[in-house]
């Protein structure tokens, strides 16, 4: 890949989504953008970049930026996290709110597997403490295609089997004539989906009791991670918990959060973890 082509694409990714792509991963750019380039009739990525620079088309720029993101996800990724959510976090938050209602945000939720995993658990294994609770799940992602795919709840055979037991696949999904699997209406009705860029304010989404932001910070520049931390903190209801992915941390990004006691990869408002434990 030509250096000038790489620089234009890397700058676009950084400004649009906060992704810091090093030159050593230029091959990923080619792999992720080649299908888009072929679809649009570009012979090379140089042609695609020339179009980006000569035509100020915001929709196309967003599509290119989306293609440069990592979209890899699967059902029940890091299953112990979901067990903690169902058995500990949500019951404790429900008890604290005393309203019978909770809101969960899957920030950077990609094509919906994380949100649907939680929806299936709430359907199958709610536990006595969560029965009858009104739990709203919102999943957002920068990518328009991923958001639309998530809303439809349609997955190919590989995606459907990845992380799903045969029991849950047969219970919560229907095999389509195409061979794909679609989440049943019962599960789809539990989740809503919206397109949203985590680099921008999320004030219109409201406050949340639990925020998933797992495997989203990885690959972002430090400035972008600081911005995301700021956005997430602003949407935390009192006593809310943020869950990050394995190996991710808010350390050095914000003074407004601290690790939650006894919740792996959990973060809470600074100054509250020890108070809650006491």
C-alpha 190/C-alpha 123 separation (Å) is: 9
pLDDT at position 275, please? 61
Q: How many beta carbons lie within 10 A of that of residue 181, not counting itself? A: 22
Instruction: Place domain 79-277 in its CATH homologous superfamily.
Output: Vaccinia Virus protein VP39 (3.40.50.150)
pLDDT, average across residues 247-271? 95
Give the position of tokens 């953008």. Answer: 33
On the question of a common fold for 3-67 and 79-277, the answer reads: no
Based on its alpha-carbon atoms, the radius of gyration of the chain, rounded to whole angstroms, reads 20
pLDDT at position 71, please? 87
C-alpha 237/C-alpha 147 separation (Å) is: 25
Selection from 240, 277, 250 nearest residue 89 by Cα: 240
Does the 3-67 domain belong in CATH 1.10.155?
Answer: yes
189-242 per-position pLDDT tens digit: 999 999 999 999 999 999 999 999 999 999 999 999 999 999 999 999 999 999
pLDDT at position 181, please? 98
Contact 153, 182 (CB under 8 A): yes
Contact 9, 49 (CB under 8 A): yes
pLDDT at position 99, please? 86
**Domain map of the chain by residue range?**
3-67, 79-277
Tokens of 2: 């030509």
Tokens of 232: 């997430």
If pLDDT is split at 50, 70 and 90, which confidence band does 278 have?
very low
121-147 per-position pLDDT tens digit: 999 987 778 888 999 999 999 999 999
Tokens of 242: 């943020």
Instruction: Name the packing angle between helices 58-67 and 144-152 (round to 10°).
Output: 70
Residues 6+ apart with CB under 8 A from 34: 45
């Amino acid at each position: 890949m030509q250096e000038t082509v790489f620089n234009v694409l890397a700058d676009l990714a950084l400004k649009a989504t906060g992704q810091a792509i090093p030159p050593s991963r230029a091959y990923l750019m080619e792999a992720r953008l080649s299908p888009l380039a072929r679809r649009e009739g570009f012979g090379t990525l140089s042609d695609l970049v020339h179009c980006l620079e000569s035509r100020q088309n915001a929709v196309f720029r967003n599509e290119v930026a989306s293609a440069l993101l990592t979209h890899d996800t699967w059902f029940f990724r890091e299953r112990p996290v979901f067990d903690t959510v169902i058995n500990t976090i949500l019951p404790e938050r429900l008890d604290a709110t005393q309203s019978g209602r909770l809101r969960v945000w899957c920030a950077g939720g990609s094509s919906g597997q994380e949100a649907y995993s939680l929806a299936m658990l709430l359907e199958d294994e709610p536990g006595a403490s969560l029965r009858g609770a009104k739990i709203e799940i919102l999943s957002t992602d920068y990518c328009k295609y991923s958001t639309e795919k998530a809303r439809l709840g349609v997955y190919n055979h590989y995606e459907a089997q990845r992380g799903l037991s045969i029991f849950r696949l047969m219970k919560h999904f229907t095999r389509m004539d195409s061979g794909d699997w679609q989440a049943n209406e019962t599960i789809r009705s539990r989740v809503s989906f919206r397109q949203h860029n985590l680099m921008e304010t999320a004030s219109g989404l409201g406050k949340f009791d639990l925020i998933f932001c797992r495997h989203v910070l990885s690959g972002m520049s430090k400035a972008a991670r600081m911005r995301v931390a700021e956005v997430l903190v602003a949407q935390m209801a009192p006593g809310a918990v943020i869950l990050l992915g394995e190996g991710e941390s808010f350390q050095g990004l914000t003074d407004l959060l601290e690790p939650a006691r006894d919740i792996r990869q959990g973060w809470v408002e600074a100054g509250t973890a020890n108070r809650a434990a006491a």
